[in-house]
Amino acid sequence: MAHQHSSQPRLSPSSYEEDIRAVLAPRLAYFEAVARHEHVTRAAHELGVPQSTLSRAMVRLEQDLGVALFARKGRTVSLTPAGRTFLGSAERALAEVEKAADSVRADADPTAGKVAFGFLHTMGSETVPALIRAFRADHPRVRFQLVQNYGEAMIERLRAGGLDLCLTSPVPDAPDLVALRLDEQRLRLVVPDDHRLATRRRIRLAEAADETFVTLEPGYGLRRITDDLCAEAGFVPRVAFEGEEAETLRGLVAAGLGVALLPPPAVARPGVVELTVTAPRAAREIGVAWLDGHPDTPPVAAFKKFLLSRRGHLLPE
């Protein structure tokens, strides 16, 4: 392998950081094979490339680095001290690439791949465990990465590639998303059990206009729905406490600190009474969302199909 000079200059200091990955990455496997065999012909045969191509690639690599990686003697080569140092890093880099490839192949495996699935906190205790249990009856080895969060945060994570699918409310309307309604969940006015309204079973929301409310923080879908329903009933809620989790709000209601519009609990909580709201109609839509045009792995496609098959009966009775 003749070590010829090239008229093409090495990477300049100003361009080095920008270009070094593009220069080195395609040549690391070539370099590792030549270093392992200490013979260009045998390395070229293993890689399935012409010997001349491999020889030129190694010469260009040394020229771009400005360092001799090989000492050449006839048809054989041996590593210089710099080459041996570079080999250690190259082997680690190639191992990381192989590890990454194995990981993404495993996640896409039709029978044992991974689904990154986001959902609202209020669906974590009962709805989502029941869904996953039903899905895994036919897909027992599929793995799930589960993320609980409020709607806007999940949509941000979906766009960033951290989620494959999410259950959220309200159902988002955005050009880069596909979002489909799956079910509807009635909301109740939750009051302390010694409240003046606690003996009632049904109520018009306007009757709570003078009450102090406890709500989720702004940015949560349920907070937006609460504000909209109160506006439809003709008032702006007087909010005393804002939280991040529905069951915490129930605890505040039980302590007599206000009333709240909440979805039904998984387990009845003592200290509160839950009233049906007759007007306006108090409900929230639950939908599934994913990135438009984003290709699905087989396990994600299977779980998406399963969720869509549950339209109208997504939530527990």
pLDDT band (50, 70, 90) for residue 317: low
Identify the bridge partners of residue 179 per DSSP, sorted by sequence position. Answer: 289
Q: Between 141 and 16, name the one with better pLDDT.
A: 141
In the predicted model, is pLDDT for residue 265 greater than 50?
A: yes
Residue type present at position 216: L
Highest mean pLDDT among 24-33, 35-44, 93-102, 113-122: 113-122
Highest mean pLDDT among 31-40, 90-99, 101-110, 271-280: 271-280
* pTM greater than 0.85 (yes/no): no
Residue 292 and residue 174: Cα distance in Å, rounded? 10
* Cα–Cα nearest to 281, from 182, 189, 183: 189
Interstrand relation of 272-279 and 188-192 (parallel, antiparallel or unpaired):
antiparallel
Contact 26, 40 (CB under 8 A): no
CA distances from 115 to 17, 166, 227 (A): 36, 10, 34
Residue 87 and residue 79: Cα distance in Å, rounded? 9
CA distances from 267 to 125, 264, 286, 294 (A): 9, 9, 20, 37
Residue type present at position 160: A
Identify the bridge partners of residue 238 per DSSP, sorted by sequence position. Answer: 212
pLDDT band (50, 70, 90) for residue 205: very high
Tokens at 254, concatenated: 């039980």
CA distances from 131 to 72, 178, 214, 219, 314 (A): 64, 21, 30, 26, 8
Per-residue pLDDT, averaged over 39-57, amounts to: 91
Q: Between 42 and 74, name the one with better pLDDT.
A: 42
Q: Where are the alpha helices (DSSP H) in 81-162?
A: 81-107, 127-136, 151-159
Highest mean pLDDT among 13-17, 257-261, 266-270: 257-261
